[in-house]
């Protein structure tokens, strides 16, 4: 029977410090070594595993590189396919739509209207169309007047061309041999006649009542009119009107009309401005307001005329409303001294349409703009 061991806690300090028998310890170590797996060459095994991982890593990177390259190639193909691709002379393809770039000669600017018969012809063709052996054929109203070569930069010069009076068409054709590649043209109107200018009101040397002076006349449609330096826009039929404040006494008006070609007609009109024979109503003043100052042609405008006398409303006063050169009618102010009138704006565009109210020896004025914009 094996002797009973004394518990560690009850052993004496001497017994706890007593060394273990070395033979027993050696046997326990040998037993533990037999139970553990045995590796004869640990360094060789580590190197083998390192090489294996390196090979696997390189293979994985290769696969990633192939996938990335294919993706980049597909992206590049998509970008290239979305860019304009050349398709014949003067044409590109943008996605699904075909856009044509003109190879037509670009003529140097020619005047639309001129009073000079001689014009200089020149221009340039686009760089892609300026090929060797090509030339420019210049025609006037269908008749060939010159054939000139293209310079290295694509420019050409057709020299000075004499145009007849009236409307002419200048044409420039880009040719390769006898084949027409592209063509462009321009229209020029030669007008050497000064515009007619007639003043219908006032008459020369006429005595007119002031202080407001009305000038009426007619010239060519689209001509520019000035009255003593003040620019006017004639009506589509060439008629025009203006109102100015004139001093009492002799007065000379300088009136001019200029057409689009630059021809000009001038006239000096002398009149005598006298005091109005209408006896003004003492203390009467008038004001005029528009519900809108800018309208489209033909739209309705409402004007309010206010008359006062001594600072109080002036009732039952006859007032005459004029729009431009036309008289709309005569009206009377109500108990509040106000007359409200509606009228149709002129059926054409005009910058300054005079709206005038006359009554009691005085006047009030407003300006209306008629425009399609």
**Between these two residues, 180 and 22, which has the higher pLDDT value?**
180
**Residues 308/312/317/319 CA torsion (nearest 10 deg):** 20
pLDDT at residue 285, as a whole number:
85
**Rg of the chain, C-alpha, whole Å:** 51
The structure's pTM equals 0.53
Region 69-85 average pLDDT:
50
111, two tokens: 């005047």
**Residues 286/291/293/294 CA torsion (nearest 10 deg):** -160
Domain with CATH 2.60.40.1930 in the chain: 284-370
Domain with CATH 2.60.40.10 in the chain: 106-190, 197-274
Residues 234-273: tens digit of each pLDDT: 888 888 888 777 788 898 999 999 999 999 999 999 999 8
Is-contact 139 163, C-beta < 8 A? no
pLDDT at residue 264, as a whole number:
94
The half-sphere exposure of 176 on its side-chain side, counting CA atoms within 13 A, is 8
How far apart (Å, rounded) are the C-alpha atoms in residues 46 and 279?
A: 128
pLDDT at residue 249, as a whole number:
86
284-370 folds as Immunoglobulin-like (2.60.40)
pLDDT at residue 167, as a whole number:
94
Residues 108-146: tens digit of each pLDDT: 999 999 999 999 999 999 988 888 889 999 999 999 998
Is-contact 269 204, C-beta < 8 A? yes
How far apart (Å, rounded) are the C-alpha atoms in residues 308 and 285?
A: 5
Residues 212-234: tens digit of each pLDDT: 788 889 999 889 999 888 888 78
- Helix H, strand E, coil C: the string for 74-143 is HHHHHHHHHCCEECCCCEEEECCEEEECCCCCEECCCCCEECCCEEEEEEECCHHHCCCCEEEEEEECCE
The closest of 242, 199, 243 to 217, measured between CA atoms, is: 199
The superfamily CATH assigns to domain 106-190 is Immunoglobulins (2.60.40.10)
**Between these two residues, 224 and 27, which has the higher pLDDT value?**
224
Query: 7 pLDDT exceeds 60?
Result: no
User: 197-274 in CATH: which number?
Assistant: 2.60.40.10
How far apart (Å, rounded) are the C-alpha atoms in residues 182 and 123?
A: 14
Confidence of residue 188 (pLDDT cuts 50, 70, 90): very high
């Amino acid at each position: 029977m094996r002797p009973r061991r004394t518990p560690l806690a009850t052993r004496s300090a001497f017994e706890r410090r007593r060394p273990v028998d070395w033979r027993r310890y050696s046997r326990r170590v040998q037993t533990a070594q037999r139970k553990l797996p045995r590796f004869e060459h640990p360094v060789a095994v580590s190197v083998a595993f390192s090489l294996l991982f390196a090979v696997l890593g390189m293979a994985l990177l290769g696969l990633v590189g192939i996938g990335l390259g294919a993706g980049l190639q597909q992206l590049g193909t998509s970008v290239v396919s979305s860019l304009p691709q050349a398709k014949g002379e003067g044409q590109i393809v943008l996605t699904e739509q075909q856009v044509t770039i003109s190879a037509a000669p670009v003529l140097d600017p020619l005047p639309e209207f001129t009073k000079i018969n001689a014009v200089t012809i020149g221009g340039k063709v686009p760089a892609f169309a300026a090929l060797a052996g090509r030339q420019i054929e210049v025609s006037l109203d269908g008749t060939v007047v010159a054939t000139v070569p293209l310079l290295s930069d694509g420019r050409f010069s057709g020299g000075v061309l004499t145009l007849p009076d009236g409307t002419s068409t200048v044409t420039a054709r880009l040719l390769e041999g006898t084949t027409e590649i592209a063509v462009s043209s321009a229209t020029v109107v030669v007008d050497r006649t000064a515009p007619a200018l007639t003043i219908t009101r006032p008459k020369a040397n006429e005595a007119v009542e002031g202080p407001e002076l009305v000038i009426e006349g007619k010239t060519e449609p689209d001509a520019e009119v000035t009255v003593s330096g003040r620019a006017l826009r004639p009506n589509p039929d060439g008629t025009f009107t203006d109102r100015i404040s004139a001093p009492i006494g002799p007065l000379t008006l300088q009136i001019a009309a200029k057409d689009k070609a630059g021809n000009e007609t001038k006239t000096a009109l002398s009149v005598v401005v006298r005091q109005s024979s209408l006896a003004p109503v003492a203390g009467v003043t008038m004001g005029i307001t528009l519900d809108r100052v800018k309208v489209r042609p033909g739209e309705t405008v409402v004007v309010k005329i206010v008359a006062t006398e001594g600072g109080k409303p002036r009732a039952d006063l006859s007032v005459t409303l004029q729009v431009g050169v036309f008289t709309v009618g005569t009206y009377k102010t109500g108990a509040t001294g106000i007359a409200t009138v509606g009228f149709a704006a002129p059926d054409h565009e005009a910058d300054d349409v005079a709206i005038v109210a006359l009554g009691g020896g005085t006047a009030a004025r407003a300006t209306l703009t008629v425009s399609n914009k």
